[in-house]
Structure 1
Amino acid sequence: MPRYKALPAELDPCARQLVARLRQLKDHGELTMRHLAAKTGYSAKSWERYLAGTSLPPGEAVEALARITGADPVALLALHEIAADTWDSRRTGPIAQPQPQPQPTAPSAAPAALTPPPSPTTPTTGPAPGRLPHIALTTGVVALTVALSATVLLMLRLDEDIAPAAVAAAPTTAEASPRPSYTCRIARLDGHWSAGVNDGRNTEIYYGDTGADVAEAQCLLRRAGISPGGIDGMFGPLTLRAVKTFQQREGLVADGMLGPRSWKALRG
């Protein structure tokens, strides 16, 4: 496990929890900064800042990390949204209070006798009674309202995570069309196995990829006696586990990536 530096002390608790969760996903997936850059589209330097707590990661980066590690992005994005609301305000520090202006004094040349004594009924200058308690009460009410709003938002996000509709829906954009269906047509062509899905291509694919090449690999894994889950063209956790099992069985490097050697072994 890599050793991380301590997070900045001024980080909000929600932001601190978000960064800690991103570190856990990276370590659990055994990902390097170069892997993160290649699979999420954000540079390794950017991920160093995100995981050090010195820069707030974009929501797209958080969702991409959740996708490549097989984590559910809904709760992670809810935590990111709350952290984003408080990130700048907690890092700017307290606002300096204005210094009180000195009261003007009477000219030294004026005789003291000309200054009339204050009338017993004349109110003196200064804060009105009850003014400071009123300000403190208002500040407390505003802070309580912000905390309650953040709690309600998090509960709503978690409810969406539990609801079946949220599980079935895509985390980002709605699907414009139904997902393509794939049918395995296993056949032996020119001494090699084919599923008839991707026209015999041996394109390099890895975790997070989608399409006909993934469906072809899923069909051939099933033919080899290893279940990749459904034939859906999505390189998810089940397909990743099936690929690593096949690579171990064939004496290949079990890196979960289907390259030329793994394709050759799948096609026999």
Structure 2
Amino acid sequence: MSRWKQLPASMEPRQRQLTVQLRRFKDRSGLTLRAVAARTGYSRSSWDRYLNGRALPPRQAVEAFARACDGDPVRLLALHEVAAERGGDADAVPEMLPDALPDALLVAGPDAAPEPADAGPARTGRVRGLRRPGLAVGAAVVAAVVVAALALSLVLVRPWGDGGERASETKAFVFEAGVDHPCKVHRADDGLLYAGYSRTRTGLIGPQSAQWPVVEAQCLLRHRGLAPGIADGFFGPRTGRAVQRLQKRAHLVVDGIVGEDTWKALRT
């Protein structure tokens, strides 16, 4: 996992929330800044500024990032919209607010929902500096309670788990170009085929995905003689064409995306 620089203490909290979320998706994808730059069309130095809180990325960059890192574009764009809205009104939130909401509370997990734009008493009037400290503390407390509740619900539900796998038991995926992971496909006691990289049966993967379920799918495609290329964990055009051939053979919707029905065709 990347060793990130500490975000500026004066950073607007909505932008901080977006930045922490982007960092987490990048870490989960295993991509380097150079790889992110190559897949998004934005330079490495630009992503260095965006991910270290020195600039707010444009909407198009966030969309491209979501595709490259297999993130949730709806969630990221919602966070970006809120951050962009507040970015033009930086003095509406007191300077103490970012420190009152540390990263651990601002983002509970990869699928944490953004705080509603109208949450907290800070919306009732403009605040400059610390002229109205009671209002600032109230806003911080409300925001902290909301995000802490989200954190608790995410811990209980664990939506980022891989089709029933515990995320803590899954080795972090790091993409390495040219690495062909060994494929030892076997039929388990439940009667389904597994290659040992993921047990998901519902996880959604598609073009530009880079993760262990992609290795699993590539091995299962290879087992069925569909030639996805090397099992490197990156869902490229060759893997997409192999998925489409499987879908056509199984009389499924031919969209080149592996979802529940395609996993069933791969594992049975």
TM-score relative to the length of structure 2? 0.41
Higher relative contact order (CA 8 A, sep 6+): 2
TM-score relative to the length of structure 1? 0.41
Larger Rg: 1
